[in-house]
Amino acid sequence: MDNQRIFLYGALLFVLFLVWDAWQKDHAPEPVTTPVVEQAGMEREDRDLPQLEAPIGTGEATVATRPLEEEAPSRGEPVRVVTDVLDLTLDTRGGDIVRAILLEYPQSKQKPDQAVELLTMEGDALYVSQSGLRAAGNRPAPDHNAIYRTASNQYVLEEGAESLTVSFIWQDAGGIEVEKRYTFRRGRYEIQMDYLLRNTSGTEWRGDAYLQLKKRQLEQERSFFNPSSYSYTGPAFYNGQKYEKLDLEDITEASLAETAPGGWAAMLQHYFLAAVIPPQDLQNRFYAAAVGPQTYRVGYVQPAKLVPAGGEAVFNNRLFIGPKLQDRLVDVAPKLELAVDYGLLTVIAEPLFWVLDKIHSIVGNWGWAIILLTLLIKVAFYKLQETSGKSMARMRKMQPKLAALKERYADDREKLNKAMMELYQKEKINPFAGCLPILIQMPVFIALYWVLLESVELRQADWMLWINDLSSPDPYYVLPVLMGLAMWGQQKLNPQPADPIQARMMMLMPLMMVAFAVIMPAGLVVYWVVNTLLSVAQQWQINRVLDNKGYNK
């Protein structure tokens, strides 16, 4: 079995897997939505929110929270907040973020003036943050339907300012005042959101705070011709020990409720995410549930606090609304970088990206960084590839003898195999030596595929000439054609199968890989072309050296 055949079989299996997975996703039966059962005294939207708990040390029993009021169909007044990286719209109803535009990320190269809109209130694209306070018994508290007031309907982070604070005020006639305070910082997608509660009533107040993301998640259409459609989209959370992507069917049938220290909850999509992050030193109650047809939420509830008459309490929260920039996610919350989903080969993909990022920090161009990374990978596998190359060169030399054996024992497969093994032993050739480099490098190739597909750092990244987006296919198919020519040249240097059927398959292999490369990200094809050219150069040198030595060790 030679190198080219193993590569062909591996590539075929990879393509067949993608096709099968796409077919499964496209033709699987529609998920059955479990009817939502309303609880007495509680709207459907809030049916699975964990119950209010007594503060630690009070000795009080668990008390059911006062149910949230019905979701009001009308909105409040919009309040616009603009920083250097975010253009946000907040609503005085709930004081929540209902629209978020990422100013530094155009939707496409063709639409440089239209930035990505991550959060929105519009129809099927519904995706908002919601937060509020809940109080025990009949005490007042502003949930995400409460009406706030604010000093202005527009706030801008001024030139030279490092932060911007926006406050929403809610007051109850009974003496409870709540300030919902947002703090935005220059260059940051992380947002501090605090509740400051002042109790000027004559009795104590006890309650908790919740923060959640609500999104309408339509069925994800996967296509073999759109590799990015395989990127995970949906809710996820980290409980301080384990990261988990949540299955929508599972949380439709039964909501998630789990108490954990620290952690975070998020809604993920290709390249971007929104996450809600509680204080990391508290035991927070995370939850996820379906709240309507194809509509889901994920969030957390903080431990309850007791605020005596005349006292104050602060509930600290954070949000992250932005791109999956790994160096920034690491600093925001523990393990938030896991939102960059490299799949089963994360253990290989993460180091690959780390090296790629370090190279990029030196050369300043992702295309050249990919080429230099390819060189490093080639150096790492050089000795293994050299051993394989020598074996293939000797196998190439043995082709006439193998062909003679196949002709002599054409009707006796057992004798043919025995004669071939004897020949291999006599010539000290390992026929499987060419397989090992491919088998070892295939996981690296697939891991790099996910790195180039998932890393927002490479989104719309220029290389040179016509390649202005390494995360998208080559628009003029130049790289795929170069890939095919490089593979054709590699075939000429390797032993050719004596079997005519296998020989024809090998002739078709470059064409098949060209078709495959046409839909792949250009960055991956750059790696593929450079790696193949280096393999051709290495094999040519090995063949030349062994020719000069008469194919002897």
Per-residue pLDDT of the chain (553 residues; tens, 9 = 90+): 444 444 444 555 555 544 444 444 444 444 333 333 333 233 334 445 665 554 433 333 333 344 444 454 467 899 999 999 999 999 999 999 999 999 999 988 888 889 999 999 987 889 999 999 999 888 889 999 999 999 999 999 999 999 999 999 999 978 899 999 999 999 999 999 999 999 998 899 999 999 999 999 877 666 555 656 667 888 999 988 889 898 888 888 878 888 988 899 999 998 999 999 999 999 999 999 988 888 999 999 999 999 999 999 999 999 999 999 998 999 999 999 999 988 788 889 999 999 999 999 999 999 999 999 989 988 887 777 666 666 666 676 776 777 777 777 777 777 777 777 777 777 666 666 556 666 777 788 788 888 888 889 888 888 888 888 888 888 888 888 888 888 887 777 665 555 556 666 667 777 777 887 888 888 888 988 888 888 888 777 776 766 666 554 4
Q: Work out the widest C-alpha separation in the chain, in whole angstroms.
A: 105
Task: Compute CA distances 270 → 136, 462, 527, whole Å.
Answer: 40, 19, 22
Closest CA to 522 of 438, 439, 436, 464: 464
Q: How many CA atoms lie within 13 A of 58 on its CB side?
A: 17
All residues at 6 or more sequence positions from 355 whose CB lies less than 8 Å from its CB, including other chains: 373, 376
pLDDT at 431: 62
Structural domains in the chain plus CATH codes: 3-20+349-548 (no CATH), 35-218+230-341 (2.70.98.90)
| pTM, 2 dp | 0.78
C-beta separation of 252 from 31 below 8 A: yes
pLDDT at 221: 66
Q: Is 356 exposed, middle or buried (0-12, 13-18, 19+ CB in 10 A)?
A: buried
pLDDT at 229: 62
pLDDT at 13: 52
pLDDT at 196: 97
> What is the C-alpha to C-alpha distance for residues 497 and 80, in angstroms, rounded to an integer?
68
Q: What is the sign of the dihedral through the CA atoms of 416, 421, 425 and 431?
A: positive
